[in-house]
Amino acid sequence: MRGLARAVLVALLLAGGTTGVARGDEVRAPRAPERFREWKALTAEERRAARENLRRFRALDPAQRRRILEDFRRWNELPEERRRELEQAYERFRRLPEERRERLMRRLERFHSLPSEERERLLRNYERWQALSPEQRARLRERWRRLPPEERERLRRERHGRAGR
């Protein structure tokens, strides 16, 4: 775990050893002397961010706090290699121009708003696309580019019409 994610976790650990989720529903953080060493190892900016994130965390309702803690638990259960891959993907995302990041986020939000059957269909299509060789993908892209604009628009409408079913 690196950077601000580590700073948030350290801040939670330093917060009296509990998350303060709700009375009788607290999740105890492990008490360990190394948490203070980790805190001291943070940069001043990471400590400031950790304090702010802890303040924001405490302001959340119990259900939101439980969701965040569950995300931390799932993150920590991932194999180290998968965490590294995700961190690298996040770094690539952060380096994208802001306009591109916003477009990707809008697409992700649109994807999550689709009915589950449509999301599953799109994921199957994506898997089929990934299974194609680079040459096959290039041929399909070229076929798409050669279609007249009105035909591409008709296919888009048809596809979106199917999504609404």
Distances (CA, A) of 149 to 43, 94, 103, 125, 137: 53, 33, 22, 23, 20
d(CA 69, CA 156): 40
Q: In the Cβ-directed half-sphere of 118, how many Cα atoms lie within 13 Å? A: 13
Mean pLDDT of 48-60: 89
Q: What is the pLDDT of residues 85-104, one digit of tens each?
A: 999 999 999 999 999 999 99
- How much is the pTM? 0.50
- Radius of gyration for the alpha carbons in the chain, expressed in angstroms and rounded: 22
- The answer to which of 25-29, 49-53, 63-67 has the lowest mean pLDDT is 25-29
How many CB atoms sit inside 10 A of residue 7's CB? 25
Q: What is the pLDDT of residues 113-165, one digit of tens each?
A: 999 999 999 999 999 999 999 999 999 999 999 999 999 999 888 876 654 44
State which H helix or E strand residue 127 sits in: helix 116-131
